[in-house]
Amino acid sequence: MDFTILVINPGAGSTRVALFKNEKSIFEENIRYRAEELLKFPKIIDQYQFRKDKIVALFETKGIDLKSLSAVVGRGGPFKPLISGTYFVNEKIIEDINTGNYQSEHPSLLGAMIAKEIADALNISAYFVDPVSVDEFWELSRFSGLKEIKRKALSHALNVRMVAKKAAQELGKPYEECNFVIIHLGTGITVAAHLRGKQVDSSNANEDGPFSPQRTGALPTMGLVKLCFEEKYQLSDMKKKLNRQGGMLSYLGSDDIQEIENRITEGDKEAELAYNAMVYQIAKEVGAYAAVLKGEIQAIIITGGIAHSKRFVDGLKAWIGFLCKKFYVYPGEGEMKALALGVLRVLRKEEEVKEYK
């Protein structure tokens, strides 16, 4: 039996949509947004209607009839800690999103909401797969340095696990027998340690780790405290500053790596210094996660949108090449296929769907 699945993947600067017929993608497009378009929304959740309307308009323009769909799947967000798997989008999770009962703000929260509204109109089911909040941390990973604050297991879990399994296959080993340091380079950055098939520690793009195109990563704590109290920023202002106006956008007024590389080529020394600083911070983070694995690493994996840039990848390898002889570079993300396959396994009754409670 053939299944047609609509995949919706909201990211920080775009929403990717695709149609899959079984395992094969038959249509895919990336709806991109300018930074100023999204900054006008006070909270990420406020982007819901804007993003949904863009998706509907795209399919109307392409003349694609959604009535042929078997299911809709949205990327899973930073919900409460969950085990990996494929879940129904039910009323409970929509309620939790609308009431702020989640761990962090991220556009992936919108995936489940948009998927459910489209699916409900067609009388079919909506799903999410391996959300941002997949939690396999060991207890050592949860310590922050302050008892009142616990580190959260929030990462680009869907793509990171996908490329880990792909690298294991290329090595000819079961994923459960491999150790990897994985670097997801996107608008937000994840650096993760995978120990024998489990992500035992990772950076959290919204709270720690290196700075990225839009996010600050870890900051000097006293400087942050002074900024909050002496400048008298509201909580909403600081969230926006840290997660949507930080990183390269803060330093250079742009979060577009290609544009920044063009500026460097044209002789912009300020752009070159900030660019090299981001590479440097990521390299330091990779060293930390290599220590988590005690240096026993089968491969270092580089993935995400920025991995398309040879300049960036080569710059990173120049710092971390000594850590491991084997590198795999998988530019872009395997998230769309991973989402479709997760639902396909459920529709084919190869895997039990999970219920969000």
Residue 213 phi, psi dihedral angles, 5° rounding: -55, -35
The DSSP element (H or E) to which 157 belongs, if any, is helix 157-171
| Mean pLDDT, residues 82-100 taken together | 95
> Is residue 150 a part of any domain in this protein?
no
Among the listed residues 108, 117, 63, 47, the one whose alpha carbon sits nearest the alpha carbon of residue 89: 117
Q: Are 42 and 314 in contact (CB under 8 A)?
A: no
The model carries a pTM of: 0.84
How many Å apart are CA 259 and CA 281, to the nearest integer? 20
5: Cα within 13 Å, side-chain hemisphere: 31
Q: Are residues 104 and 179 in the same domain?
A: no
Q: Are residues 113 and 219 in the same domain?
A: no
- Tracing tokens 């000819």 back to the chain, one arrives at 172
Q: Are residues 254 and 313 in the same domain?
A: yes
74 pairs with which residues across the strands? 8, 128
Would you place residue 329 in the very low, low, confident or very high pLDDT band (cuts 50, 70, 90)?
very high
Three-class SS state of 338:
helix
Q: Which two tokens stand for residue 311?
A: 């300049």
Q: Are residues 126 and 165 in the same domain?
A: no
Q: Are residues 234 and 322 in the same domain?
A: yes
In sequence order, which residues have a C-beta less than 8 Å from that of residue 168 and are 6 or more positions away? 174, 175, 177, 178
Q: Are residues 43 and 170 in the same domain?
A: no
Q: Are residues 288 and 201 in the same domain?
A: yes
> Is residue 307 a part of any domain in this protein?
yes
Looking at this protein, which amino acid is placed at residue 80? K
Q: Are residues 162 and 237 in the same domain?
A: yes
Q: Are residues 52 and 106 in the same domain?
A: yes
Q: Are 17 and 58 in contact (CB under 8 A)?
A: yes
Mean pLDDT over each residue of the chain, to the nearest integer: 95
> Is residue 19 a part of any domain in this protein?
yes
Q: State the DSSP string of 190-257.
A: EEEEEETTEEEEE--TTTSSS--SS---S--HHHHHHHHHHTT--HHHHHHHHHTS-HHHHHHS---H
- Give the residue numbers spanning the domain of 50: 4-135+335-347
* Farthest-apart Cα atoms in the chain, separation: 63
Degrees to nearest 5, angle at CA 7 with 5 and 11: 175
Angle between helices 310-320 and 269-292 in degrees, nearest 10: 50
> Is residue 142 a part of any domain in this protein?
no
Per-residue pLDDT reduced to its tens digit, 248-305: 999 999 999 999 999 999 999 999 999 999 999 999 999 999 999 999 999 999 999 9
Structural domains in the chain (count)? 2
Q: Are 320 and 300 in contact (CB under 8 A)?
A: yes
> Is residue 188 a part of any domain in this protein?
yes
> Is residue 357 a part of any domain in this protein?
no
Given a cut of 90, whether residue 337 has pLDDT beyond it is yes
pLDDT for res 34: 86
Q: Are residues 90 and 194 in the same domain?
A: no
Given a cut of 80, whether residue 109 has pLDDT beyond it is yes
Q: Which two tokens stand for residue 150?
A: 């616990």
Q: Are 13 and 79 in contact (CB under 8 A)?
A: no
Q: Which two tokens stand for residue 283?
A: 């390299």
> Is residue 166 a part of any domain in this protein?
yes
pLDDT for res 207: 93
Q: What is the CATH number of the domain that holds 215?
A: 3.30.420.40
pLDDT for res 341: 93
Q: Are residues 52 and 67 in the same domain?
A: yes
181 or 13: whose pLDDT is higher?
Answer: 181
Q: Are residues 43 and 15 in the same domain?
A: yes
> Is residue 151 a part of any domain in this protein?
no
Three-class SS state of 342:
helix
Q: Are 47 and 41 in contact (CB under 8 A)?
A: yes
How many Å apart are CA 185 and CA 235, to the nearest integer? 27
Would you place residue 75 in the very low, low, confident or very high pLDDT band (cuts 50, 70, 90)?
very high
Given a cut of 80, whether residue 12 has pLDDT beyond it is no
How many Å apart are CA 218 and CA 151, to the nearest integer? 12
Question: What is the C-alpha end-to-end distance of the chain, expressed in Å?
Answer: 31
For residue 78, the 8-state DSSP code is S
How many Å apart are CA 34 and CA 13, to the nearest integer? 7
